[in-house]
Amino acid sequence: MSETMQIPARTLTTLAVEQFIYQEAAYLDAWDLDSWLALFDAEGRYEVTPTGIAKPFEIETPTTLFLIGDNHERLEQRVIRLKKPTAHVEFPKSQTRHLYTNVRVTEDSGERLVAFANFCTFRTKNRITTQYPGSMRYFLKRNEESFLILAKRVVLDLEALIPQGKISIIL
């Protein structure tokens, strides 16, 4: 007699969130920025915190100058700019590889979730490869098929943007 193995709901949720985040990485690596933008809720935010600060997941948006602090409208404009040949810093486009790991769902109220992941993004351009390691926090909302990003906060594990000097790609 065979026993049916039941997978806990929390495990299934974590797997679904992992697949969602991995799909995000695939869109970014393919420079499919329109599909990436479609992952965001109409009220979604994308933030990259300043480097070298304590407790970066606790800082408040109105009181901090973020490296990137985009609402949905600004994200749309960022995508439009990055797709133009006049975006000199990214034309021709960099080759990127977004590696995400250690995905964990820390809160799940049914409709909304909070998830964390570690990452390292590699950017290659003009025969130079730079690395952007760090962690991310997602506020996600369930929709019919998957999730939508309500907020994504990126925290770089860098003391300064050296040798990178800038962030011209989406992390």
3-class SS of residue 10? helix
Share of the chain above pLDDT 70, in %: 97
Contact 66, 49 (CB under 8 A): yes
How large is the average pLDDT for residues 132-158? 96
3-class SS of residue 101? strand
pLDDT at res. 1: 46
How large is the average pLDDT for residues 12-24? 97
Q: How confident is the model at residue 164 (pLDDT cuts 50, 70, 90)?
A: low
Q: Where are the domains of the chain?
A: 9-156
Whether residue 2 is predicted with pLDDT greater than 60 in this model: the reply is no
- Fold held by 9-156: Nuclear Transport Factor 2; Chain: A, (3.10.450)
